[in-house]
Amino acid sequence: MDLSRLVALNAAYARAIDNERYEEWPDFFLESCLYKVTTAENVAKGLEAGLIYADSRAMLQDRISALRQANIYERQRYRHIVGLPTILDARDGAADVETPFLIVRIMRDGRMEVFATGCYRDKVRTNGDGTLRFSERIVVCDGSRFDTLVAIPF
């Protein structure tokens, strides 16, 4: 697996979220996928539950639909700082990858704060046209407290 393609995938992913182009977010995943947001504490204890769980691209699309049409929350946006991915295993066009992240939340009034830090634990594959997509993205947050509705994808 080419490291530069993984960097480009993560950069495009973060850019779509940071620019509030949420409708593009599900397209970074294969049709059959797993997306979960959890905490390092849960992972250490072997607890499978997460703050967010979706096991298909359709569920991710539903999440964005709810974000745009149903959820009511204080206007905010994110800025991702994504580190370099580490390839843990690669074979047959797929890779297990871990990438650190930091997310700054910018509120409507301009206040900024560190919202989350952690790492993405990904399984990445090529789809039919050779584009890299996530078959699994587990967002492991270092902290275990979130002070507001977790509405926007990580």
Structure tokens at 136: 């699994």
CA distance 48 to 1: 28
Contact between residue 27 and residue 17 where contact means Cβ atoms under 8 Å apart: no
CA distance 42 to 51: 10
Question: Which residues of the chain fall short of a pLDDT of 50?
Answer: none
pLDDT in tens, 102-140: 999 999 899 999 999 999 999 999 988 989 999 999 999
Q: Report the predicted TM-score, pTM, of the whole model to 2 decimal places.
A: 0.92
Structure tokens at 56: 């298909």
> What is the reported pLDDT for 63?
92
